[in-house]
Amino acid sequence: MEIEDFISAERLRTYQNHTDQQKKAVALHNHTLQLGTSLMAMIALLELSLRNITNQLLIEDFGDHEWLLPDHTTLPLKTFECNAISKAYSHAQKTAYSKLSYKEKNDLDAQAYPNGIPPNTKHKTVVKKRNALFTPSHGQVISQTTLSFWKRLYSGEYDSTLWKPSLKKAFPNKSLGRSEVSTALETIYATRNRVAHHEPVYGQRLEKAMEAVGFIRNSIGAKKDDEETNFKKFSNVHYLRLQMDYASFIEAWDTLT
């Protein structure tokens, strides 16, 4: 088998357009994957921290410890976010169900169908009925939410309802505006999606990604520029690794192209 059989000719062509040898193109491809691994690790820390900090602020400022659970309307959320919460709740139910043994799953039928399962009921319908028996906790729903959900809470749609009364506290530097935070989160979100699908991140797209990651890392919990925050300490190892892989990638790119 040839190299194209492992990478695909179309994918390899992306790198061959920047160099004169297939061997160099393969090296660029592999350097890109390594950088993507470090980016994903750093973005994972950012996502984890952002959702936990955001959740805690909203609990404190709106007084609802279970705002992600059904029938809680304390927060002024838009339809998109409400739908996202419903999906996260459903995924949390499915996750809980998936952890059961075959016998435990079947035992649920006594609750789901007290009078017995009706004839000709599809298995898919039975599973859905079983899933509905689970009541996920607030924390279990959080674990099923996406970065898309959390970054949208920092969008212009929530400037007056969430940002000013609450979420600004996550980025306490008075010189920072919501739009700066939102723009950086959008860039990080787009980068995460590309890397997750093994798409290359280089050139201007890479520079913007590195800038956005650095900006959010430096700004979470920071009251002033260059403050040595707890998040900086928490993410230090991953950030240093990202910086190292970034420098290695730039050197390889300059050498091979």
**What end-to-end distance do the CA atoms of the chain give, in Å?**
26
1 pLDDT above the threshold of 70:
no
Segment 118-144, tens digit of pLDDT: 989 999 999 999 999 999 999 999 999
CA distances from 157 to 76, 150, 153, 174, 243 (A): 10, 13, 8, 20, 34
- DSSP labels for 185-233? HHHHHHHHHHHHTT----HHHHHHHHHHHHHHHHHTT-SSTT---HHHH
Q: Is the dihedral of CA 139, 47, 170, 182 positive or negative?
A: negative
Domain positions in the chain are 22-68+146-257, 74-144
Q: Is the dihedral of CA 236, 241, 245, 250 positive or negative?
A: positive
pLDDT-derived band at 5, boundaries 50, 70, 90: low
How high is the mean pLDDT of the chain? 93
Return d(Cα 156, Cα 25) in angstroms, integer. 41
Give pTM, 2 decimals. 0.90
Return d(Cα 117, Cα 89) in angstroms, integer. 25
Q: Which ranges in the chain belong to alpha helices (H)? A: 3-7, 9-16, 22-62, 79-98, 102-107, 109-112, 123-131, 138-142, 147-152, 178-196, 203-219, 230-234, 236-256
Q: Residue 88 corresponds to which tokens in the numbers above?
A: 């996260």
Segment 44-85, tens digit of pLDDT: 999 999 999 999 999 999 999 999 998 776 899 999 999 999
| CA-wise closest residue to 42 among 156, 139, 147, 150 | 147
Give the phi and the psi of residue 104 in degrees, each rounded to 5. -60, -35
